Amino acid sequence: MMKGRLAVVQSGGPTPVINASLVGIIHEAQQHDCFDKIYGLIHGIEGGLKREMIDLSSLTARQLQTLANTPAAALRSSRHKISDDDYEIILECCRAHHIHYFACIGGNGSMYVCNRLAEMAQAANYELRVVGVPKTIDNDLLHTDHTPGYGSAARFLALATRDTGLDLRAMATFDDVTILEALGRNAGWLAAATALAVQHDDDAPHLIYVPEVAFDERRFLNDVVAVHERLGYVFVVVGEGLRDAEERMIGQRESNHAEHVDTLGRSIYSLSQGVASYLAELVREQLGLQARTLRPGLIGRAMSAAVSSVDRVEARRVGEAATTYLADGGSGEMITLERISQQPYHCDTGTIELSVVSGGEKMLPREYINNAGNMMTAAFIDYVRPLIGELPPVFRFDADKNHFDG
């Protein structure tokens, strides 16, 4: 058994349960003699470049429990674009600190970094075992049933939609349309999850639009009119990455401002005008209806009060599985979640080669979207419900059936 030190990295956008994965890694590593020490790199991979790290080896059970329930990335994160020279510096850091095990908790970009680091270590004849630990609220990692972080962010959005939908229903004599914009980048998994808020025919959301279906403004306006004529109010959810049939971003086509991008060249939708704002203005101008927008943004990936219990358990489980994988001699793969049964719900952990995962995106299957392209199907509800958990019940009067005669 190779003895050495384990380095752990948290990379990319945080989640409400990312620290549960960190705790899973640490606690499991404390049970194995092959790990001399456990280091946490500060600010992601930049910690390796600057040799900024902390010793996690002696954290107590009580400290780990508190850490597991803490949102955001406790080690702090990074979106640093890594060059080939950077990889060499990181490998030199590993040599200097006798690091022979490397675990990275992250999403698509992080899995690419893991794979490249493993390749360069092998080319340099340096023994470094590398494992990827899945994490992203966007749920767009390939070859895993879902990703830790998604269930909690999805639960937050489902609750936010249900509760603000009830607010709109109460104010329907004044407000006409509310449009909520969900995170998710190019994939509609988070926007789709708001469908779980629907318990009655008139419950919000009434319309959901995801990036997987080309957006048509005229069809959208017709949909809004149809719901408004039926109910007197409309709650709409849109994914932040909506595009039309020509792949143009909705809401940015008329803008003279340059598109905001991060260090990796990816669009930062939260810094743009936003699709919800654009569509609300369209509704006001074309339909003459009062339209409000909701843009929860990063609240959903940081809200510990809305954490899904299943999500937290699975986040810790993939961390534990990653450490066991390294201790057993594994390298070059990402831990996955594999749904074994639906009733009762259960997922096992597995592995997939990092080279297969990195660089791609998992989109919503078409069978999860209705034919009209404006709502989710029962198949999607079956998929997402166990990840989010049941929402707490609410009471409401039926204005047509519950009344008192004078």
Catalogue the active-site residues.
138
Cα three-residue angle 175-220-195, rounded to 5 degrees? 75
Distance, in Å, from the CA atom of 276 to the CA atom of 76, rounded to the nearest integer, reads: 30
The SS3 call for residue 55 is: strand
Q: Residues 178, 294: contact at Cβ < 8 Å?
A: yes
Secondary structure (DSSP) of 221-250: HHHHHHHHHHHS-EEEEEETT-B-TT-PBT
Distance, in Å, from the CA atom of 10 to the CA atom of 287, rounded to the nearest integer, reads: 46
Q: Residues 84, 124: contact at Cβ < 8 Å?
A: no
Distance, in Å, from the CA atom of 302 to the CA atom of 316, rounded to the nearest integer, reads: 17
Q: Residues 116, 318: contact at Cβ < 8 Å?
A: no
Say how many C-beta atoms besides its own lie within 10 A of residue 199's C-beta. Answer: 12
Query: What is the C-alpha R_g of the chain?
Result: 23
Cα three-residue angle 230-234-238, rounded to 5 degrees? 135
- Give residue for tokens 């095990």: 101
**Beta strands in 205-317, from DSSP E residues, in sequence order:** 207-209, 234-239, 291-294
